[in-house]
Structure 1
Amino acid sequence: NLEVGASFLSHGTPWHVIDITEDAVLAEPTSGKNIMVPSWTGEDIPVSFEVAQEVGKMRSIKKNVSPMPDNKTVILEIVSDLVVLHLCAGTRVNNGVARLFSKKLSDLIGESVWAVADPYRILLKLPFPLKSDDIQRAFLSIKNVKSDLELSLENSPLLRFKFLHIGRMFGLLSEDANVSMRFVRALRYSAVYQETMRSIFFRYFDIGTTEEILKQIKTGKLKLVIDQREKPSYFAAIGIERASGGENVGAFEPREKIISAFKEDALSRTLHLQCLNCNATRFLHLAGAPEKITCHKCEKSTLTLLDKQNNLVRDADFAAGLIQAYGKRALIALSTYGIGPSTADRILRMIRRDEESFYLDIIEAQKKFIKNKKYWKLS
């Protein structure tokens, strides 16, 4: 039985339940971490900077890929809301750059940016596409490597996991103990915390090499190429396949598929309408609805929505005005769970370059409604 907060698989893609209504389960794509079969295979053996550089040199022999990410060329590949930084710098350097780059992008847009790294590339999933100039600027603004990495670790699962391990070694925690991030922060100046940070930096990051790589990119010693394209490159596809094969399966679910599924659901709705002028009612299937909505009896554009109990919806006059002004799009917005006339009005007023952006705005507004609903107080 599904409940809010649960995760499930559908067609190989993991989903997270964010709300359950009388006739629908509302879910969003998730990383899939909570639905993997519990197992522990250990961490991958890290690839050193030197080995990754040699791989880059071997790549440069190939002539059938352009631009070629090698030991002398760093490529910033942008595919809609997917960013791939091709950097042959090894596991520890790329781990650090991934955290720093994602933090810079998060600070820029005010939302979380998902990132994963391997020895040869860093993949970042944006909540929405950004201009290439903004992405490049965020990358080149990385500095203060050590202090920024410390900040990025403050509330991370990695810090909590390593603190638990080190705490047991120090005799501070029992073998079956568990700790919260609040507990970890409370011991920020303890020997256990300091040893935890030292262990993380030693095992997962390479501060000196990271600083040198970033310096070479900024000075031009390493060539930085911006590659904006419609589909992932050969080397990006390898990284996506690797990321999708582990615990982060589904994180790169194409936005187009989500929009397509939402649109299909929206157009499958049949709405009950009433004319505010002559009180005539009618059922209208959205898939076959005309762009301009008028009453079949008096031919005036004064239709509004009825709810499941055949009562006028709240702010029926406002809704009628939106339907008169925006037609079919207003019906799509107003018939979406969590979208009232005020929110629909804001969405419909926005200027967009394509239809997909319209559906995406509705999806984001619905998600915001669902996530905020639990904080409402009944009056």
Structure 2
Amino acid sequence: LSQEYIKETLKQEINFKSILEVAVIGTHPLNWKTWHVAKRFGVVSKDSKYDKRAARLIKERFKNTPLDREIMRELILEKYDLKNTLEIMEKIKQEIITIKYVRVSEFSALARPILDYARTFAALPLTVEKSIIELVKKRLEETNNKLLCLTCGNWETVIKPKNLMNVDINCPRCRSRIVTRTYVSDMEIGKIIKKKQKKKKLTRDENIYYRKLWKVSSLIQNYGKEAIITLSAYGIGPDTAARVLRNKTDEEDLFRKIYFAEKVYVTTRGFWKE
């Protein structure tokens, strides 16, 4: 992984709670917590022995109920430190905490067990529950995206994919179709576009980012709203998005592929000590 890719990822606005809710699906900690909370709620008798399959069925059956919310609340409270994670990530963005990049020939003693754990998720199922696909769809269609014109550099807007018509996306000022997309809190993108418009020399990092914006624009020109939805997902950049969009067969298959791509991202990146 390049330093630029890591820097870009660390700048992203990440909803860690949503990532955890996806990452823990089907895991032992979630099943175990489901079983014990279900006992307290009287869903299963107090003397019942733990049953992994029954725990999964309970979690699915009581989705979006007080029982489901209590399961996730307790699991996150007991196993994860979201408050300090968010504080650390914010300090990294503000460069209060700096990241030192070191190339090594082998993984460290700390990294090895993390990677071994991540490998247990490598064999993803061929099918996924339709209800999970619907959750992914709802989340991505509700995600705010910042759109900007790369031609005139004088237009930008924030919009949710659900409010986009499935037609060509154009700049309302100059009518250009060279429109790109980024996350809402990205305050550097406008400066880079203006700098390019004035024919000023970009730094190496700015050039890399600007080329990425053109890749994103190309995807939007070819796939429209679906490109913006795909790029809204966790850990999906223009290269992965191109592969997902190129291989999807229909809308349901698109969100299924996005779900699997997010799962891979979470299991291979989500355990890093940042």
Give the structure with the larger helix fraction: 2
The structure whose Rg is larger is: 1
Q: Which has the higher contact order (CA 8 A, sep 6+)?
A: 2
Give the structure with the larger strand fraction: 1
